[in-house]
Structure 1
Amino acid sequence: MKKILVVDNQISNCELLKKLLSRNNYEVETISQGNLALNIIDKGKFDIIISEYRLPDLAGAVFFEKVLKSHPAISMIFMSRDFNLKNVVDLIKRGAFNYLSKPLNPDELLEAVRDCSKPHDSQVQKISASEKQAKLPENGTCNEFGFVVGKSKEALEMISQIKRVGTTNFTVIIEGETGTGKEAVARHIHKISNRSDKPFVAVDCGSLSKEIAGSELFGHEKGAFTGAISKKTGLFELANGGTIFLDEIANLSLETQMALLRALQEKVIRKIGGVNEVPIDVRVIAATNEDLIVKSGAICFREDLFFRLSEFILKVPTLKERISDLPLFIDYFLKQTSEELGIEKPQLSEEVKDIFYNYEWPGNIRELKNIIRRSCLFIEKDNFIYKDALPHGLLATAVTRKLNGKSEIKTESQSVNRESVDPDLKSAARRAELTRIMEVLQKVNFNKTKAAEILNIHRKTLYSKLKVLR
């Protein structure tokens, strides 16, 4: 059993983390001061330390140096409400395992803790690009990065393309619907490249407004604009020597697209408010769930940028297109979730399997993962997952079954007693809201930015509603 020390001056946070980690089979101790933590570390054997970065009696950087010097084998995870990219980069470069923003996401924390048990990059011997290719998982298996390789024709073709382009320095556009795993593909391209020991920086372009995109990507000088109280290092500089992944690239403004084009062509960037050009060596991998060619014709996406990015275009198949791989994903997510919850891996009932095989999966692999995770909270005593454990959203969209060798769509109102589903006005309103959200998401191919615009709500509000309604 792994032993964890939580260091945080907020006692309530210490107790919450202790309960969460103890439930997941970790031995946990807590302390509220950095100097006291150093004394405890010297007396007890800890595998992992989860520490607030801004301790009242000891700076996070100093605390880290002292632990690193006396106990280099301990994995350290820092957390802070004040997220500072420079601090993050400095800590990671010096050997910290991870840095999490408060308020903490329980799933993100548990994943970081589990990852501490894996070999650190510094402990892994560097291998050649050809050897890295050989380390891609075999068909139907999962490698250490959680990437499931299917047996379908579409999956095998995708892996072939990843191997083909991975060892080059080509810029790549990854096309695919939302939830198909485009970032996972990008990470694998990076892992088998000669840049694998350098940073991989993922950027959600959909969350970058026109006002902040330039600063986030390229950085800014102190005083460049109101609020620029210090110099900022951009994400391109942080990714120097490695790979930057630009997800939902179609959301970038034309102004930012122009700056990106210049960075690709000249291999230099200029900070906002700066006069000096900074040379960079970064491989760009972009992802989109839209047709950039059509978008460029509509003057929403620059043609010259598209042609510069599209040295290689890789298509990620939908889950429906590779439905024969469904059992592999189900097995992987069941195993992953059961390990997280500390329970025996459950099984799906035949009725649930039938629903899964006939469902359209508009949200693809991400939707499947979320449904599996939710369903594992409703396991019956015989360790099976039955239809009642499935979320209302799936059943409301299309509960399917096979009749005479054909798929018949049944709405939930046909298969479930309406009185048991909507016992009051609040439940009925909740169901109507979910139904409307699902209708809009399907119309826009599960592009949440577009869906939020149509529904006239903020994108973050849509995310919140989806979490609650599911």
Structure 2
Amino acid sequence: MYSILIVDDEPNYLIVLSELLREEGYEVFTAGGGAEGLGVVKEADLDLVVTDMQMPEVDGLRLLEQIKEFNPDLPVIMITAYAEVEKAVAAMQAGAFSYLAKPFSNEELLVNVQKAVQLYSLVRENTRLRREIKGKKSGFSGMVGKNPRMQQVYELIEKVAPTPASVLISGESGTGKELVAKAIHMNSSREKEPFITVNCAALSDNLLESELFGHEKGAFTGAVAMRKGRFEIADKGTIFLDEIGEIPIVLQSKLLRVLQEKKFERVGGSKTFEVDVRIISASNRDLKEEVGQGRFREDLFYRLNVIHVSLPALRERMDDMPLLVDYFINKFGKELGRQDLSISQEAMRLLMTLPWEGNIRELENTIERAAILCNNNIIEADDVQPDSLQPLQENSWSQGLDLKQLVPASVGLNEVLYAVEEKMLHQALDESNHVQARAAESLGITKSLLQYKMKKYGIKKKK
């Protein structure tokens, strides 16, 4: 819903214009003068200002200048008397969208209003897209891989994108869930409309409700101005709710209503808003298990899970590692001005052996760091080696150790390494009473890496 401010010192004129615009489905604010109008501009999330030219103290032209200082893109329509041609020209030069000379017809006003709000909507969307490009966010082209599991994902995206169905994306953190959501949006009929992302785990319960549905001025402490929520901003487009399993049970009913009826109220408000938004959600939790535990509504789960896309972890698609590494090397080579950036075979072999608990995101960060630190534009094994696997220092216990006295020559290196590693894991867990965090700290590795190695050697967690 578009929000419009009408500024006029004649109360009757405010009533007539506001009723006309409300009947057309606009949300209307009114102000009886320029100073009051500027206050509303600074407090409310507006799409258009319609102001009279002749007003005492702060006239329409001065108000226009102040609005342009605050928000240069916000359109302003000036209402002028028939004889104020010179002032109308001055207003256009100062950045007014258009002017209407009294008397004007309702149709003339509505045509101008519609053009103004649609233009502002495009300006906002272009600004958002420029920010995304500047922030180097990947689009559909950022999805890389020939693994059969990924091919299934691509096929599912192509099938579901043109439909209005809600989609639930599951997968571990860092597997690329937002990329899938963007791919669905960009291949749908909504591609030219907003794509809005909300991380449900990043906000407290109260702030999350306000973020999703907006709030009215004074709705809570700190709500000094009206603010539109993400659903309202995403109207006609797509909203991506990441980590949806973190939404509190109290808020889930309000989300369910949006899915069923496409209606909601802002926090602290009684007015009902209606939106046309496609919902794509994602979670690294098992939402079926959350339903069983009573932490997630079953009816909401089925509404969200019309189509389910499951993303494989990186360790389940290691055949894609060379493609992914090549993609990130090209990406960071261009960004850093190192066009001939490459990677050694030894470094690639090391990448193929690591557990990648952080999945694609961890790999991307690793290649970015290596691209910055490597010498001669060649990424070596030392550049991609995790901190937890750094070589032993010179004063290590290993200095002077004669392995020939301990290990028969017929035993392979891998057998020795695996045996020593497994024994060290058992020892660290026994000494820490199986407190994994303490065991990992004593071994100098992360808890997630310890858990990976326990699984690798079949070491069970003590209950």
> TM-score normalised by the shorter chain: which range applies?
0.5 to 0.7
Moved more, 191-200 or 349-358: 349-358
Query: Could you tell me how far 1:67 is from its partner in structure 2?
Result: 13
Post-superposition shift, 1:247? 0.4
Q: Distance in 2 between matches of 1:178 and 1:373?
A: 19
What secondary structure sits across from 2:156 in the alignment?
A: helix
- The equivalent position to 2:72 in structure 1, one of 62, 79, 83, is 62
Shift of 1:380: 2.2
TM-score using structure 2 length: 0.60
**CA spacing shift, 1:407–1:199, aligned 2, 3 Å:** farther
Is the counterpart of residue 308 in structure 1 residue 336 in structure 2? Answer: no
The corresponding residue for 1:131 is none
Residue by residue, what CA displacement relative to the aligned partner does 1:410-439 show, whole Å, maximum 9, x if unpaired? 999xxxxxxxxxxxxxxxxxx959956x31
Alpha-carbon shift at residue 98 of structure 1 (Å): 5.7
Q: Does 2:397 align with 1:389? A: no
CA contact 2:388–2:444 (8 Å) conserved in 1:
no
1:266 aligned onto 2:261:
yes
Q: Give the 3 Å change call, closer, same or farther, for CA 113–290 of structure 1 in structure 2.
A: closer
Tell me, yes or no, if the aligned pair for 1:208 and 1:252 is still in contact at 8 Å: no
SS of equivalent to 2:251: helix
Distance in 2 of aligned mates of 1:350 and 1:411: 26
Secondary structure class of the residue paired with 1:284: strand
Tell me the equivalent position of 1:190.
185
Q: Does 1:229 align with 2:239?
A: no
- The whole-number CA distance in structure 2 between the counterparts of 1:151 and 1:296 is 34
The equivalent position to 1:318 in structure 2, one of 310, 313, 325, is 313
Structure index of larger Rg:
2
Report percent identity of matched pairs: 37
2:352 maps to which residue? 357
- The aligned counterpart of 2:127 is 96
Task: Label 1:391 to 1:355 Cα distance change in 2 as closer, same or farther (>3 A).
Answer: closer
Superposed, 1:315-354 pairs within 5 Å as: 315-354=310-349
Structure 2 CA distance for partners of 1:338 and 1:267, relative to 1, 3 Å: same
Instruction: Please tell me the residue identity of whatever aligns with 2:379.
Output: I
Structure 2 residue corresponding to 1:210, chosen from 197, 205, 209 = 205
The alpha carbon displacement at 1:304 in A equals 1.2
For the structure 1 residues 342 and 160, does the alpha-carbon distance in structure 2 shift closer, same or farther, using more than 3 Å as the test?
Answer: same
**What do the CA deviations read for 1:240-295 (whole angstroms, capped 9, x no partner)?**
11100000001111111111011111110111111121011101000011100001
Q: 1:171 touches 1:309 (CA, 8 Å); kept in 2?
A: yes
Aligned to 1:26: none
CA distance in 2, matches of 1:235, 1:407: 56
Distance 1:362 1:145 in 2: 24
CA distance in 1, matches of 2:274, 2:384: 52
Q: Residues 3-402 of structure 1 correspond to what in structure 2 (within 5 A)?
A: 59=69, 61-62=71-72, 92-93=123-124, 95-96=126-127, 112=134, 145-381=140-376, 383-393=377-387, 395=389
TM-score by length of 1: 0.59
Cα distance change, pair 283–360 in 1 and its aligned pair in 2 (3 A): same
1:400-439 matches, within 5 Å, as: 435=444, 438-439=446-447
Aligned length: 311
- Residues of 2 paired with 1:226 and 1:263: CA distance? 26
Residues in 1 aligned to 2:67 and 2:304: alpha-carbon distance in whole angstroms = 49
Offset from partner CA, 1:84-140 (integer Å, 9 cap, x none): xxxxx868427436676xxxxxxx8xx51879xxxxxxxxxxxxxxxxxxxxxxxxx
Secondary structure in 2 matching 1:96: helix
What CA deviation, in whole Å up to 9, does each residue of 1:46-105 have, x standing for no partner? Answer: xxxxxxxxxx99726338999999xxxxxxxxxxxxxxxxxxx868427436676xxxxx
Distance 1:189 1:145, change over 3 A: closer
What are structure 2's unaligned runs of at least 5 residues?
A: 1-65, 76-91, 96-119, 392-411, 422-439, 453-463
Tell whether the 8 Å contact from 2:243 to 2:283 is kept in structure 1 after alignment: yes
Which structure 1 segments of 5+ residues have no match?
1-55, 70-88, 101-107, 116-142, 398-402, 413-430, 445-470
Q: Distance in 1 between matches of 2:304 and 2:346?
A: 45
Pair 265,68 (structure 1): closer, same or farther in 2 beyond 3 Å: farther
Q: Secondary structure at the match of 1:59?
A: helix
| 8 Å Cα contact 2:196/2:230 also seen in 1 | yes
Aligned residue type for 1:112: K
**SS at structure 2 position matched to 1:331:** helix
The one-letter code sitting in structure 2 at the alignment partner of 1:219 is G
